[in-house]
Amino acid sequence: MTHNVMRRSKCNWIEYKQSSEQTISTNSVITWDTKKTTGSDSVSINGSGIITLSPLKRYWLQASVSVQRSTYNTDFQFDFQKGDGTSLDQSEGNFGCKFVWDGQLASSPYSTFPLTNSSLVASLIVNYPVTTYKLVCTNVNANSTFCEESNLFIMEME
């Protein structure tokens, strides 16, 4: 398995947030409307959640996810996808956020459920991108809430 690696370089830090909560279901695209940056960057996100990056730079995107599920004992998952909805795998720099409800595991040390290592961070590493991207909720109960404390951090490197 190969991964995109980062090297030392001059960079800009960009943070996106939401000004209000977003109601989500499976296949919801996450939208971001508040931007802070450390300098002059080449990142933009439109009202539909499509992320545009410069093809002349390298990027590390990290989405810190906070979700209020409409049904408590359920799983959720977020993944970066290409702007056209095409899935990305690890060889393309996508490392999804997957929360697995393990309430039954916690109630019994002899449970047959596998141990899980849930993550609340989705990452995407891309070098000189030639497409757009978006963060998509690929699994969650209908009428769940993507909370305001969620963030999208982007390192833009020359």
Concatenated DSSP letters of the chain = ----------EEEEEEE-SS-EEE-TTEEP---EEEESS----EE-TT--EE--TTSEEEEEEE--EE-SSSS--EEEEEEETTS-B--GGGTEE-EEE---HHHHH-TT-SSPP----SEEEEEEES--S-EEEEEEE--TTEEE-TT-EEEEEEE-
User: Looking at residues 85-97, what average pLDDT do you find?
Assistant: 93
pLDDT value, residue 110 = 52
Question: Is pLDDT larger for residue 6 or for residue 38?
Answer: 38
Q: Is the entire prediction scored with pTM above 0.95?
A: no
The answer on pLDDT for 60 being more than 80 is yes
The answer on pLDDT for 109 being more than 60 is no
User: Looking at residues 144-148, what average pLDDT do you find?
Assistant: 93
The answer on pLDDT for 86 being more than 70 is yes
- pLDDT tens column, 17-59: 999 999 999 999 999 999 999 989 999 999 999 999 999 999 9
The answer on pLDDT for 75 being more than 90 is no
pLDDT value, residue 113 = 55
